[in-house]
Structure 1
Amino acid sequence: MNGNLNNYSMYTLIAAAITMFSTLFLPWWGMKFFAPQYPEGLDIIVHPNTLKGDIDNINGLNHYIGMKNFSNDTFPELTYFPYLVIGFAVLLLIAAFLRKKAVLLGLIVIYAISGILGIWDMKRWLKDFGTNLDPSAPIDMEPFVPPVLGKNVIANFTTYSSFHIGGYLLGLVFILMIVAFFLSYKTKKKEQTL
């Protein structure tokens, strides 16, 4: 099997690098809270370098159940995510111009492991926030763990967790890497049979 990537793979990797870089400017994930007193909902929106949304309102409510405040300082990952994104986008460009399948395969493995660790880290933080409640809080609440994706109901609050456009684009980057790998393999094999 030829170890080189073809032009189609190179262009696909360049597209993956551009897509990766674009996620710096887009939200990755979020939670929306609904309650009778908040029919329009309250948002926490996670960008790669900051939290946005109705953070102050949510922290005010969380005080009553003894949950820690949401803030940029609470999530140290937000300080280095942008560097990881830029670094991986650069690696994709390097792989595109080196045109070596082994390099691309290594990046695919690293990206897959990073994605798994990222989801695990989100679950860890959600568990920490939902189960380490202050016992002296005004309202006694049973510990709970909001889901990374999906619906959760606690007291009179219904929460929906979902990826946002940046999160979906991170998934697209992985798909583009897989496509780049197999595009080159299939076209090289086709050329050998002619």
Structure 2
Amino acid sequence: MKTASTIMIIGSALLLSLFIYPLWVVELEAPQYPDGLGMFIHLNGLQGFTEFDLQNIDGLNHYIGMQTLPKAHEMWEFSVFPIVVGGMAILGIIVGFLGFIGKISHNWFLYWLILMTVLGVLGMFDFNAWMTDYGSNLDPNAIIKVTEPDGTPFSYKPPLLGSRDILNFTAISYPGTGGIFLTIGMFLTFIAYLVGFKTNKK
């Protein structure tokens, strides 16, 4: 059980990497921007690839009526997500420690993983809803108006994962370093449960 608990502690601690590295990345590629534009999505705000990327993205979006990128204080998620992630990391470490000293069973590792998975799915749903509003809720007085073949307004929503051609840009979304560490951490907690289950069975 000590091996399983150690894995649980390591897996939970990896969530803390999100306070250092970005959770998600959105990149824009176009011929007029050979180096591309992009932003890192952190738990507590947005950061451009370079100093002027966010400003340049907002400048482009102005012509098509998209909203400006939110500042940290303009979205409740940037205040709540650090608390949730930090709390889950600490909770997971405590669960692992209690398992290490034999106070709880390996089942608690699974309970933590289920809760973290539910919170993660809710977070992705919220992120996708924000991107939908960001790409579809356009200023009717925009300088440039683009419509679909059926006459409906064109959506500039970036993909949640993968790539999408948006006019002459290609938008690419993928996990950042913190998101990768988060995935590895959750996978390790599942391994911890399996190791604990196997040890308990013996």
Relative to the length of structure 1, the TM-score reads 0.90
Does residue 1:63 correspond to 2:75, yes or no?
no
Please name the residue that 1:33 is paired with: 28
Question: 1:178 is matched with which residue?
Answer: 190
Give the Cα separation in 1 of the matches to 2:36 and 2:14: 30
Q: CA deviation at 1:170?
A: 1.0
Distance 1:187 1:126 in 2: 44
Contact 2:13 2:90 in 1 (8 A): no
Q: Deviations over 1:113-162 (max 9, x none)?
A: 11111111111011101110111000003224321111111111111111
Structure 1, gaps ≥5 residues long: 1-5
Quote how far apart the aligned CAs of 1:38 are.
0.8
Aligned to 1:162: 174
| TM alignment of 1:7-156, pairs within 5 A | 7-53=2-48, 54-71=53-70, 72-99=72-99, 100=104, 101-141=106-146, 142-156=154-168
Structure 1 stretches of 4+ with a deviation exceeding 3 A read none
Structure 2 distance, partners of 1:74, 1:133, is 18
State the shift of 1:86 in Å: 1.4
Partner AA of 2:85 in structure 1: V
Q: TM-score, normalised by structure 2?
A: 0.87
What is the root-mean-square deviation of aligned Cα atoms in Å? 1.3
Amino acid at match of 1:181: Y
Amino acid at match of 1:83: I
Residue identity matched to 1:79: S
Structure 2: give runs of 5+ residues left out of the alignment.
Answer: 147-153
**CA displacement 1:56-104 (0-9 Å, x = unmatched):** 1100110000000112244321112221121111101111122123322
How many residues align? The count is 185
Q: Retained in 1: the 8 A contact 2:26–2:174?
A: yes
The one-letter amino acid of 2:169's match is F
- How far apart, in 2, do the equivalents of 1:19 and 1:130 lie? 32
Instruction: Tell me the CA shift for residue 164 of structure 1.
Output: 0.9
Q: Secondary structure of 2:22's match?
A: coil
Whether contact under 8 Å (2:13, 2:185) holds in the other structure is no
1:80 partner amino acid? V
What is the distance in 2 between the residues matched to 1:118 and 1:15? 23
